[in-house]
């Protein structure tokens, strides 16, 4: 029997060291190293369950000899999941889905597994019993005879069952509960997560079976486990949203087969996750048109145009230092826009408390909402409501100029579709579109003071 091998791992970032260290070189945290047994002396080949009988003949080839083909994808009935994955599930891909506890990860992928009725789906659960999963499936009211359950945490037993069933899609809930007997550490430890993910990666690539790994996140919002887990998988999805709201957002953090800017929106209902096909109507549905401090921005999330409501509140500061509070917007970006208004417009925000909120609980990083934020701030500052049925799309520079934004035609078309009568854009965007092609009034301006003169 060979010697037992051990190593030290940082419990925060997964950094591996041969000896104990006080401070982690990877994340600079103190006293985070714990010792874990890597190998009990078992032979890995004896424990391994092979998937394919034949061995691959690996050889080097010239790049010019490789025939380029488009990858085949499994198109699901969930259009939001298809969009986020870049057009469907790629066979042989391994997808990591992370989110807060109770946000609805298990419900979403149980529902998607049941909806894939043309393929044999295996749902592996290490967290819930078969009865619990059956109760949730009954609530979803979807019947699928090709859907199979396995409640097990040992990877050796799981792969023996996989070899018998030969599933075409595998969903693992969750990777932190699985345990390999090759490594003698508890489930959820750095070495166990890495080993179990490695086994599923090998299975996915050998058999061209797509694998979904559902994972946990830490209290800081990062994906639990070593950072190498994110490097091993092909796609990383983040499922987020406030549990007090009904809406959930599926974001792409990494995607080897598509864009990382895509977004899927769901509504949590008693019958499962409902696809939100037109989120713009929801994000501006509860708007009070006659109140000051509210502006509509035409933004983009991936390929999808969205109209969102920006709310601003400017009040006299009671304390010595004025407050700057944001929700769904970058605080440093707000401070930059306030500096532009003070320097270029002469507005005194130095003794005012400023609050910014993106309605609907979503976070926006698109700089094209700058113009809407500035108009909402000026509306609240003057206490004058903005005209109804007006929206904005433009980035604001440090000199007070309105800069051009990309894909302006899609933003204008979305505003027109939702019944807006006027959209204010940058003058530098005029070459990108034909104003006569739209029924909506497209106003192109070049500076913030021109916007102020026109609106107030």
Give the pLDDT confidence of 66-106 residue by residue, as tens digits: 888 777 899 999 999 999 999 999 999 999 999 988 889 99
pLDDT tens per residue, range 226-261: 778 898 999 999 998 876 677 888 989 999 998 887
Q: Tell me: do 229 and 316 sit in the same domain.
A: no
How many domains are there within the chain? Answer: 3
Q: Tell me: do 230 and 310 sit in the same domain.
A: no
Q: Tell me: do 273 and 291 sit in the same domain.
A: no
Q: What pLDDT score was predicted for residue 50? A: 57
Q: What pLDDT score was predicted for residue 119? A: 94
pLDDT tens per residue, range 262-316: 888 898 888 889 998 888 877 776 666 678 999 999 998 877 888 999 999 999 9
Q: Is 267 exposed, middle or buried (0-12, 13-18, 19+ CB in 10 A)?
A: middle
Q: Which residues pair with 276 in a beta bridge?
A: none
Task: Give binding residues for ATP as ranges.
Answer: 99-106
Domain that includes residue 116, residue range: 75-277
| Last residue in a domain, options 231, 247, 277 | 277
pTM as predicted: 0.78
Whether 335 has a pLDDT exceeding 50, the answer reads yes
Q: Tell me: do 84 and 192 sit in the same domain.
A: yes
Which CATH number do you get for residue 127? 3.40.50.300
Q: What pLDDT score was predicted for residue 178? A: 93
Task: Give binding residues as ranges.
Answer: 99-106
Q: Tell me: do 27 and 92 sit in the same domain.
A: no
């Amino acid at each position: 029997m060979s010697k037992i091998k051990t190593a030290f791992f940082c419990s925060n970032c997964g950094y591996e060291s041969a000896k104990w260290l006080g401070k982690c070189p990877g994340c600079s945290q103190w006293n985070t190293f714990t010792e874990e047994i890597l190998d009990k002396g078992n032979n890995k080949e004896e424990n391994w369950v092979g998937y394919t009988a034949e061995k691959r003949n690996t050889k080097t080839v010239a790049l010019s000899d490789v025939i380029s083909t488009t990858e085949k994808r499994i198109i699901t009935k969930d259009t939001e999941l298809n969009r986020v994955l870049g057009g469907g599930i790629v066979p042989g891909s391994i997808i990591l889905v992370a989110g807060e506890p109770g946000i609805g990860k298990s419900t979403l992928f149980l529902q998607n597994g049941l909806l894939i009725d043309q393929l044999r789906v295996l749902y592996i659960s290490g967290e819930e019993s078969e009865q619990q999963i059956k109760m949730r499936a009954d609530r979803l009211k979807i019947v699928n005879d090709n859907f199979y359950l396995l409640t097990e945490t040992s990877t050796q037993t799981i792969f023996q069952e996989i070899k018998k069933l030969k599933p075409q899609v595998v969903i693992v809930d969750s990777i932190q509960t699985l345990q390999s007997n090759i490594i003698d550490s508890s489930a959820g430890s750095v070495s166990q997560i890495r080993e179990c993910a490695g086994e599923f990666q090998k299975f996915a690539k050998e058999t061209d079976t797509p694998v979904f790994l559902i994972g946990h996140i830490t209290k800081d919002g990062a994906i639990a486990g070593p950072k190498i887990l994110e490097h091993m998988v092909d796609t990383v999805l983040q499922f987020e949203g406030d549990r007090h709201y009904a809406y959930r957002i599926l974001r792409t953090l990494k995607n080897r087969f598509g864009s990382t800017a895509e977004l899927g929106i769901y509504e949590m209902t008693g019958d499962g996750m409902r696809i939100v096909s037109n989120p713009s109507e929801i994000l501006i549905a509860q708007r009070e048109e006659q109140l000051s401090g509210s502006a509509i921005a035409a933004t983009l999330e991936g390929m999808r145009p969205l109209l969102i409501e920006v709310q601003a509140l400017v009040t006299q500061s009671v304390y010595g230092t004025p407050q700057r509070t944001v929700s769904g917007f970058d605080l440093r970006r707000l401070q930059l826009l306030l500096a532009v208004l003070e320097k270029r417009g002469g507005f005194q925000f130095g003794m005012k408390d400023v609050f910014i909120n993106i309605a609907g609980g979503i976070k926006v990083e698109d700089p094209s909402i700058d113009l809407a934020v500035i108009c909402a701030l000026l509306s609240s500052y003057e206490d004058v409501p903005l005209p109804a049925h007006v929206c904005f799309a433009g980035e604001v520079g440090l000199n007070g100029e309105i800069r051009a934004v990309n894909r302006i035609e899609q933003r204008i078309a979305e505003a027109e579709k939702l019944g807006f009568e006027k959209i204010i854009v940058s003058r530098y965007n005029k070459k990108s579109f034909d104003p006569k092609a739209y029924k909506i009034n497209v106003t192109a301006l070049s500076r913030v003071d021109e916007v102020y003169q026109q609106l107030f």
